[in-house]
Amino acid sequence: MLKVTNLSISYKKINAVRNISFEVREGEIVSLIGSNGAGKTSTMRTISGLIKAKSGSILYEGKELIGASPAQIVSAGIVHVPEGRQVFSKLSVGENLELGGYLTRNKKIRQERMDYVFDLFPILKERIHQKAGSLSGGEQQMLAIGRARVTGSRLLLLDEPSLGLAPIIVEQVFEVIQTLRNNGMTILLVEQNAWDALQICDRAYIMESGEIVLSGTGQEVAENEDIRRIYLGGKETWVSSLHN
């Protein structure tokens, strides 16, 4: 579905991402894992057209995205939930969700998608008239994911969904990510929380200093000694759980 080839990204004279290549197949959850400054968010923002690539190719279903506007990329079927959620704080929950459906003229389809979101996140239906800025961090993350789902896009770019959330909310968010995949959405997940990301992803790429240094299935990456030491804290029980 998505094929990134030899992608490089620069900010003035700083090379943020250097010549990376990876792919996302339809129906997968693929994780980009790495520390702060590794280039993960820059990669996501380039795929969604928010920043320009220095060089390389980004193919979505065989069509080149380099040079396309963010609006064109959303219209093509890619939606980006950015780090920090970025809800419209002065608008209500319902208004935020309605904005997610602005490309869909069919009112029935829009309503079906909103009903689906309310099934995923019942708390949003309870808060439908509440200002988005007054929601808790976890509720705002639910709203951001819900707004993305209302677009009807087939590829979800999800950047740091667990950032700043309580563990019980993180667990719920990751369960929803799996539900979205099971219901037909393909997901590219950027996540510092390697523990949870590797548990749910089909494949993972490890980024360091703007380069991809390792890739494999979630289990293969989790079993790598260096990854266990750096990202997983050497927790033997984690790798054992992948076999069960």
Identify the pLDDT of residue 34.
Answer: 87
pLDDT surpassing 90 at residue 22:
yes
Res. 234 pLDDT band, cuts 50 70 90:
very low
Q: Tell me the average pLDDT across 82-107.
A: 89
Calculate what percentage of the chain has a pLDDT beyond 70. 94
Across the chain, mean pLDDT equals 89
- According to the model, what pLDDT value does residue 19 have? 96
Q: What is the pLDDT of residue 200?
A: 93
- CA dist., res. 244 & res. 39, Å (int): 33
Q: Mean of the pLDDT values across residues 220-244?
A: 61
CA contacts within 13 A on the Cβ side of 111: 3
**Token pair recorded at residue 79:** 């939606």
- pLDDT tops 70 at residue 21: yes
pLDDT (mean) for 172-197: 90
Does the pLDDT at position 242 exceed 70?
A: no
Q: What is the CATH number of domain 2-212?
A: 3.40.50.300
Instruction: State pTM to two decimals.
Output: 0.89
According to DSSP, residue 231 is labeled: T
Asked whether the predicted pLDDT for residue 169 surpasses 90, the reply is no
pLDDT of residue 231: 66
Band (pLDDT 50/70/90 cuts) for residue 128 is very high
- pLDDT in the model for residue 241: 41
> Among 78-82, 86-90, 96-100, 231-235, which is the least confidently predicted range?
231-235
Q: Which residue has the higher pLDDT, 188 or 110?
A: 188
Q: Is the pLDDT of residue 168 over 90?
A: no
Q: What's the pLDDT score for residue 193?
A: 82
Residue 4 near residue 57 (C-beta atoms within 8 A): yes
Greatest distance between any 2 Cα atoms in the chain: 52
Going 82 to 75 to 133 to 197, the CA torsion angle's sign is negative
**Quick count: other Cβ atoms within 10 Å of Cβ 215?**
16
Looking at the predicted structure, is the pLDDT value of residue 239 above 60? Answer: no
pLDDT above 50 for 157: yes
Assess whether pLDDT exceeds 90 at residue 41.
Answer: yes
How far apart are alpha carbons 184 and 10 in whole angstroms? Answer: 34
pLDDT at 243: 39
